[in-house]
Amino acid sequence: MLIDSHCHLDFPNFADDIDAVMERARAAGVGAMLTIGTTLAKAPQVIGVAERFPNVWCSVGIHPHEAAAEADVQAQTLIEMSRHPKVIAIGETGLDYFYEHAPRAAQEVNFRAHIQAARVTGLPIIIHTRDADEDTEKILVEEMGKGAFPGLIHCFTSGPKLARTVLDLGLSISFSGIITFKTAAQLREIAATVPDDRILVETDSPYLAPIPHRGRRNEPAFVADTARVVAEVRGVGPAVLAQQTTENFRRLFTKADFSALAA
């Protein structure tokens, strides 16, 4: 079984055919999904999708793009929202200096509040970082010094230095369909070196469809194509990679109730 560790099933892109999307995921061997919160205002919709399907869980958080629109978030707010049984993670949060839809200072405040919520709840923090390696590393090192917290860098596209720091801090790394792109040679080199117990795979759907689906709406079924490339660069078979990443998901997202999947 594969698990799509990061998707956005509440987005309008899936409104018309969500049941078909779920069926295609099942047919592709994708047994579970984590749908990700990007704003607190839309958290009810994210939770609603997770409540509808036994093999879907969710997170609550504020994407760095939304850090100004939903400013002054308090860790306690995230902590309270995370009490829902389907909420198994905090985020996504982090820093995005590529688009900078929100001021950097607001992004940092947002990021640190999410880290505090992850530290208190023990739920993993889902970190988005783009063109912000230096500040992401600084914040993670500083915050880990205040007290440990679990988490991962999702859709990893950074360099080897941040990868080493993240792994040294005890965090995990998730790879998206970007790893299948011809231009992603360095990313494939990094994926080959991540420890077996610290790697996950995702789609980030509806974005970043992997080869051979480029130009199409991405969906959880396509995580199988990403996993195939990750397995290849790591020198293992797809079944081994699927087992490792599923075990890693279960180890990291300990609140996820897998008993419902067997029912």
* CB-based contacts of 13-18 (< 8 A; 24+ apart in sequence): 13/206, 13/217, 14/206, 14/219, 18/49
Q: What is the mean pLDDT of the chain?
A: 97
What tokens appear for 179 in the block?
Answer: 């790893």
Mean pLDDT of 225-244: 98
pLDDT higher than threshold 80 for residue 262: no
CB 118, CB 143: distance < 8 Å: no
> Is 8 flagged in the annotation as binding?
yes
Give the pLDDT confidence of 47-65 residue by residue, as tens digits.
999 999 999 999 999 999 9
Give residue 91's region: left, alpha or beta (phi > 0; psi -120 to 50).
Answer: left
Reading across the β-sheet that carries 30-35, which strands appear in turn? 2-7, 30-35, 56-60, 87-96, 125-130, 151-153, 172-175, 199-201
**Between β-strands 125-130 and 56-60, what pairing exists: parallel, antiparallel or unpaired?**
unpaired
Q: Which DSSP string corresponds to 37-77?
A: ---STTHHHHHHHHHH-TTEEEEE---GGGTTTT-S--HHH
Instruction: Identify the structural domains of the chain with CATH numbers, from first to last.
Output: 2-255 (3.20.20.140)
The pTM score is 0.97
> Is 84 flagged in the annotation as binding?
no
pLDDT higher than threshold 90 for residue 116: yes
pLDDT higher than threshold 70 for residue 171: yes
Give the pLDDT confidence of 67-103 residue by residue, as tens digits.
999 998 999 999 999 999 999 999 999 999 999 999 9
pLDDT higher than threshold 60 for residue 263: no
* pLDDT of 18: 98
* pLDDT of 261: 82
> Is 92 flagged in the annotation as binding?
yes
CB 93, CB 64: distance < 8 Å: yes
* pLDDT of 260: 78
Query: How far is the C-alpha of 211 from the C-alpha of 190, rounded, in Å?
Result: 19
Nearest to 162 by CA among 192, 194, 184, 185: 194
CB 201, CB 181: distance < 8 Å: no
> Is 154 flagged in the annotation as binding?
yes
